[in-house]
Structure 1
């Protein structure tokens, strides 16, 4: 007779639960850039052991949301001005391509989903709900990538999704009404199949937020964290 198997949640589900909880708290700016993540405290808060918690932290590091520093532990990624600049460099190129392809390949179902994002952003802007504004705007950009119907582009943009959402949340004081208006213009170009205009508007829209986002990044930077050391560590992990 075989022994009875445990019926409680497995390590994988505990890891996923810890990952989702911490990801949400970082994306909603409850945990700030540079904030230390104390394993003992987090394990108690989330009611998990340290093994699934550490697995969740490694996954969040792959998302670019957490930094694991030897002999120091985990902290919310500092998201330095250099990180913000690098994110804009990549977004300007890839999101304009995504908009061009979306205009060429979109269908009625995809356009309806994109329009629903616009409605959600308008409602959140009316309610001044910063978390919902960030989520709707990030979703709008993600939906354009999906409409582009290019698996390689999707795989390249995937790792940027969390950082883009986080950036929108951290820069939520930017004029949301203006962002809505720019998104509506971009939607109109995609819906009409005007690929050149869609690409130009996407580039202009992303580039428009660069200077203000970099200025805001200076406010949440932590002087005790060396941005060059952070960047070097990321390069080593990516090589």
Structure 2
């Protein structure tokens, strides 16, 4: 890896960290709907240049979490349950295709999915919502990755699944929910080469959508 590539990785890592910092601020209520997010202030707070902060804000705008306008700056969007729900039918369709493409491969090697289920069991037992989000998203990422289709994976990743799952669970999920068993059921379906696996995946994803 040359110096330019190494520098690019560092920049992307920093941008990702800043994006997570801003996202956490939105989720926690530090920045409320309609409130302005000041790029320069974040850069000073995190002791970074404004460039990675600007890139992080662009990503969050692409995910429709913030709005920007000339002479008005960047503000947090007023999100409703329907906004959080919109990506789920699209995601369900993509994961149906992924399940069809990956079914044979996963039936032979389910270790990646089983690893995430084991982590979900621990997260469920600890009522650790952050770990539940992390390993739920990782499970589905492994499923899509197993399809071996770069276009499909890129499209799925562009939906911001982790962001929307985090917001859905923290803002709209009332009671604690156990996630391990429902994902174990999917693993079992792949193992037995269930011909209905694509329908099971679609049903599962849609069941995770916020109720409005």
Give distance in 2, aligned partners of 1:144 and 1:15.
24
The structure-2 alpha-carbon separation of the partners of 1:14 and 1:98, relative to structure 1 and needing over 3 Å to count, comes to closer
Contact 2:118–2:180 (CA<8 Å) still a contact in 1? no
Give distance in 1, aligned partners of 2:98 and 2:79.
25
- For the pair 1:26 / 2:27, whether they are aligned, the reply is no
Contact 1:27–1:165 (CA<8 Å) still a contact in 2? no
CA shift, 1:107, in A, is: 6.2
CA shift, 1:134, in A, is: 0.4
1:154 maps to which residue? 153
Give distance in 2, aligned partners of 1:167 and 1:59.
13
Length-normalised TM-score, structure 2: 0.78
Q: Per the alignment, in what secondary structure is the counterpart of residue 75 of structure 1?
A: strand
The structure-2 alpha-carbon separation of the partners of 1:20 and 1:157, relative to structure 1 and needing over 3 Å to count, comes to same
Length-normalised TM-score, structure 1: 0.71
1:1-239 aligned within 5 A: 13=10, 16-26=13-23, 29-30=27-28, 34=33, 35-106=35-106, 108-109=108-109, 111-160=110-159, 162=160, 164-172=161-169, 173=173, 175-177=176-178, 179-194=179-194, 196-210=195-209, 213-215=210-212
Pair member with larger Rg: 1
CA shift, 1:208, in A, is: 1.7
The structure-2 alpha-carbon separation of the partners of 1:122 and 1:76, relative to structure 1 and needing over 3 Å to count, comes to farther
Structure 1 residues 142-151 or 67-76, which shifts more? Answer: 67-76
Give distance in 2, aligned partners of 1:18 and 1:187.
34
Q: Deviations over 1:87-132 (max 9, x none)?
A: 02202211122222221232655x1111000011110111111111
CA shift, 1:78, in A, is: 4.3
CA shift, 1:157, in A, is: 0.9
Contact 1:121–1:137 (CA<8 Å) still a contact in 2? yes
User: What are the ranges of 5 or more consecutive residues in structure 1 without an aligned counterpart?
Assistant: 1-9, 216-239
The structure-2 alpha-carbon separation of the partners of 1:55 and 1:187, relative to structure 1 and needing over 3 Å to count, comes to same
How many aligned positions are there?
A: 200
